Amino acid sequence: MPIEIPTDLTPELVPLSWLIGEWEGSGRLGAGEEDSEHFFQRVSFTHNGLPYLQYRAESWLTDDDGTKLRPLTVETGFWALERKQREEDGGPGLIPADIVPVLKSADEVEALRNSDGGFDISVSISHPGGISELYYGQIKGPQIQLSTDMVMRGSHSKEYTAATRIFGLVDGKLLWRWDVATGKGSTPGAGLEAHASAILSKAS
């Protein structure tokens, strides 16, 4: 399945371009054992000319046949190459960028490639219930690995201390797995357990 890169995409999003679009499919909670619950998920990655992708994932609990039973949750966030902010970049808040895009060529983007041959990325994801995650990781071709640097919880949020996520494009399908730690371990990141996984197909 060829990857089409939008003509209006800012150069530093090209390494992430295979994510762009609507994806949907089914998954399993936990480690995917025979008795684990099923869910349906719809994910979108969109861009607006700025150097990040906007992310939204909506999930529903289903029966074994895929019939939706009730909503599970919604996630929203932003995905970008991890680089030092320049004076020309926008923000904080509504402060406009001096130049859009700041990185104007493939050569400037290639200069960000790390020693492993991939690109460092940062991902922020917010959840209902007062939880927000900040991930750092790497994208290398059609593979992504992420680990939380920080999990922010509200005063009444459930325990949740760390997570890892992996994504991969295999035969045109988006596969992902999410492991989480809920504070049972003695150190941050201890006690990571399988939380969910899914296989999504391109819808548009």
* Per-residue pLDDT at 33: 77
Contact of 36 with 76, CB cutoff 8 Å: no
Span of 71-85, 113-127, 190-204 with lowest mean pLDDT = 190-204
pTM confidence score: 0.91
* Per-residue pLDDT at 183: 72
Kindly report the number of other CB atoms within 10 A of residue 201's CB atom: 12
C-alpha 195/C-alpha 31 separation (Å) is 7
* The CATH classification of domain 11-202, taken from the options 2.30.30.90, 3.40.50.10140, 2.40.128.20, 2.60.40.650: 2.40.128.20
C-alpha 23/C-alpha 39 separation (Å) is 14
Q: What are the sequence ranges of the domains in the chain?
A: 11-202
